[in-house]
Amino acid sequence: MTSMALAATLFGPEDLRMVERPLDPLGDGMVRIRFGAGGICGSDMHYYRHARTGDFVVTAPLVLGHEIAGDVIGIAGHAPGVKVGDRVAVNPSRWCGHCRACRENRPNLCENIFFMGSASKTPHMQGGFATIFDAVPAQCVKIPDHVSYQAAALAEPLAVCLHAVARAGDVSGKRAVVFGAGPIGLLTMLAARRAGIAEVTVADVAVAPLAFANRLGADHVVDVSGGDTALRAHGAARPFDVAFEVSGTAAGLSSAIGVVRRGGVVVQIGNLPGNLILVPANAVMAKEIDLRGSFRFGFEFATAVELISDGSIDVLALVTAERPLAVAPDAVRLALDRSQSVKVVLTAH
């Protein structure tokens, strides 16, 4: 078995290189996986541009990638439910299972969590944009033969959106606005549809993503590049019960608080800048808004794999380009161009 892996490694802002990395001996109870496909996420792009995302700062070389799928090529010791040759979607979360959050069935809030391709812990947990990488059996969810690695890799962002919609409560028959027409915004729209939402409006500052949202089934799209006046007018005529803030901007959160109805719900999904921001917080009180955070996902990962496998949600509808892992730096730069890209997926070859 090979002792080296080629990995997309970040050394600083806009310094992403393909680097040969030695593989450590496979630890007891660990699973070795050969890369099949990986989705480039907004956080990967933030890391690339700034060597940080939100409050998570890169302090040592970091292999990116947490939307990943591949096949099992090695197992050390006991690996329940996993065997060599299995095709798997890889849950990037490694929960401890014993802290208070885990005991309360909120593993995404685990106090000891390690998350692949993230600088949230030091030392950082390396990601999956590597020809070979390791995981624990609990991270591996089998995928049927008819599901491509490209689709399976997108179980992770779909799980994020399933969790966000669950955080909104019962959305059946309600009207929603989604701020941000990137992959998470679009998948949130699709997840909300599955949960019974009656109407979805998508707001963004860029024309191309809005056109894509329209094609994917948004009831209304609104260009807010010049402000949210038109959106407020639309919301006044047909009040929004729920707002999903996906853009990760102070302007998006301010607009979400502003346009949602009295007694409505705002779900914050986007990773806001890691500093103080100005928002109309008094409106949260005056309108008695429920402002809810949504962080990653919990057990929704397995559900996401099921929905992809049975065809309930077509995640590949978001994919606008595929590039081989070997050119990951160029692929990240392509993903950053919103005029050309919605979702860029890396493949093994």
Positive or negative CA dihedral for 197, 200, 204, 207? Answer: positive
The pLDDT, as a whole number, for residue 54 is 82
Nearest Cα residue to 44 out of 24, 29, 66: 66
The pLDDT, as a whole number, for residue 1 is 54
In whole angstroms, what is the distance from residue 262 CA to residue 80 CA?
49
Give, for all 349 residues of the chain, the pLDDT tens digit. 568 999 999 999 999 999 998 998 999 999 999 999 999 999 999 999 999 988 899 999 999 999 999 999 999 998 989 999 999 999 999 999 999 999 999 999 999 999 999 999 889 999 999 999 999 999 999 999 999 999 999 999 999 999 999 999 999 999 999 999 999 999 999 999 999 999 999 999 999 999 999 999 999 999 999 999 999 988 888 899 999 999 999 999 999 999 999 999 999 999 988 778 889 999 999 999 999 999 999 999 999 999 999 999 999 999 999 999 999 999 999 999 988 999 999 999 9
The pLDDT, as a whole number, for residue 16 is 98
The pLDDT, as a whole number, for residue 335 is 96
Q: Are strands 260-268 and 290-293 parallel, antiparallel or unpaired?
A: parallel
The pLDDT, as a whole number, for residue 273 is 84
Are residues 266 and 256 in contact, defined by beta-carbon separation less than 8 angstroms?
yes
Contacts of 142 by beta carbon, 8 Å cutoff, 6+ apart:
81, 82, 86, 87, 88
Nearest Cα residue to 317 out of 245, 175, 214: 214
DSSP state of 41: P
Are residues 277 and 253 in contact, defined by beta-carbon separation less than 8 angstroms?
yes
Residue 26, phi then psi, degrees to nearest 5:
-65, 120
The DSSP-derived string for 252-265 is HHHHHHHHEEEEEE
Which domains are delineated in the chain? 4-153+314-347 (3.90.180.10), 159-293 (3.40.50.720)
The pLDDT, as a whole number, for residue 236 is 82
The pLDDT, as a whole number, for residue 231 is 93
Are residues 314 and 176 in contact, defined by beta-carbon separation less than 8 angstroms?
no
Flag whether the pTM goes above 0.85: yes
